[in-house]
């Protein structure tokens, strides 16, 4: 433990990456998974690893399916309570992205006990618990270990009707794409780590990274919503490409229509971005067609890792107004139409 005269450690100084930006890159993850043999696939398993979806879904009976996921990462901010809130919001998002309603969480805690006071660790865990209370669920247990870098997250469980599961692999040609939160969280996190982020930018970062994706269960009730995912560590382009591959379709995104966090736009134009953005592009950039004259900052925003990012919805054109109304009723006024699904393959940005 540091002596009393030492300056307090910043959480982000204890981690080589932060938030969803510390995820293993898509290319490396694919190499790892390629070495794993096919496991048991019971008929009750409605969603497994076949389409890189947000969570596993297991049918319990004719009216209930269990949504099960886990998510954890290293600090994206220095305030312990805020770190816990962000990590918990991000973990619960995968349940919402499948159309489920969370019912239970377990805490995953890895902390360097020789570097962090127990009071700091307690504030991290309480931050996560506060988000679970807001979601109306208990943190009913968990597991903790002593590790080099601080890690926190949740196992999140939820319920959904088996007929209303929203996979990322069921989009249809002609579907409209709607994004629920603005992009730029990774850029803001990079600016924070460099000591450049303003107080207003930090508040905006917290605003989005601690907002639960509560429209998910309501969107699952809509027959016109064909596919859904949440945009996290692989960026908008990466998670949209997962929809494309799973649905055997292509997609077109209108860059000018993307919702963007204003301070993130300023910083990315000034060259601030995460290393994860570069890794993401190296993993899937060959499947993305950019417009002529596209600038590097535009590419960085398309690949920017989003911690607790927005829901990405693929819906029938006649369902668009209903979907947007659902987002707005839940306080997501920035939700916007960003493109459409089409025949073909890959992502085209115009």
Q: Which residues are identified as catalytic? A: 20
Q: Would you give the DSSP letter of residue 161?
A: -
- Cβ(134)–Cβ(331) below 8 Å: no
Give burial (CB, 10 Å; 0-12/13-18/19+) of 59.
middle
345 to each of 181, 333, 341, how far by Cα in Å? 25, 31, 10
Longest Cα–Cα distance of the chain, Å, equals 64
If phi over 0 gives left and psi between -120 and 50 gives alpha, with beta otherwise, what is residue 258?
beta
CA gap 153, 29 in Å, rounded = 20
CA gap 127, 131 in Å, rounded = 7
**Would you list the DSSP string of 10-47?**
PGGGG-SS-GGGGSPPHHHHHHHHHTSPP----TTEEE
């Amino acid at each position: 433990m540091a002596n009393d005269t030492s300056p307090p450690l910043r959480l982000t100084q204890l981690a080589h990456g932060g938030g969803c930006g510390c995820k293993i890159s898509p290319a490396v993850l694919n190499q790892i998974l390629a070495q794993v043999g096919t496991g048991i696939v019971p008929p009750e398993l409605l969603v497994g690893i076949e389409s890189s979806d947000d969570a596993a879904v297991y049918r319990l009976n004719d009216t209930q399916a269990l949504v099960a996921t886990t998510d954890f990462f290293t600090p994206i901010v220095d305030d312990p309570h805020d770190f816990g809130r962000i990590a918990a919001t991000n973990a619960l998002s995968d349940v919402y992205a499948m159309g489920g309603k969370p019912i239970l969480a377990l805490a995953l805690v890895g902390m360097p006990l020789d570097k962090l006071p127990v009071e700091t660790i307690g504030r991290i865990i309480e931050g996560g618990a506060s988000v679970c209370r807001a979601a109306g669920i208990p943190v009913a247990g968990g597991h903790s270990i002593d590790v080099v870098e601080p890690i926190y997250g949740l196992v999140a469980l939820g319920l959904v009707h088996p007929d209303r599961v929203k996979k990322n692999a069921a989009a249809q040609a002609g579907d409209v794409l709607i994004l629920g939160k603005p992009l730029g969280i990774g850029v803001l996190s990079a600016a924070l780590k460099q000591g450049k982020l303003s107080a207003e930018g930090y508040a905006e970062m917290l605003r989005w990274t601690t907002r639960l994706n509560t429209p998910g269960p309501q969107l699952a009730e809509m027959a016109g919503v064909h596919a859904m995912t949440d945009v996290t560590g692989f960026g908008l382009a990466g998670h949209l490409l997962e929809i494309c591959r799973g649905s055997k379709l292509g997609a077109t995104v209108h860059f000018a229509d993307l919702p963007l966090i204003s301070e993130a736009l300023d910083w990315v134009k000034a060259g601030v971005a995460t290393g994860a953005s570069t890794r993401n592009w190296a993993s899937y950039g060959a499947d993305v067609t950019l417009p002529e004259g596209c600038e590097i900052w535009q590419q960085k925003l398309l690949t920017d890792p989003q911690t607790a990012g927005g829901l990405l919805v693929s819906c029938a054109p006649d369902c668009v107004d209903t979907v947007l109304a659902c987002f707005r009723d839940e306080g997501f006024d920035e939700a916007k139409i960003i493109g459409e699904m089409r025949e073909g393959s890959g992502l085209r940005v115009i």
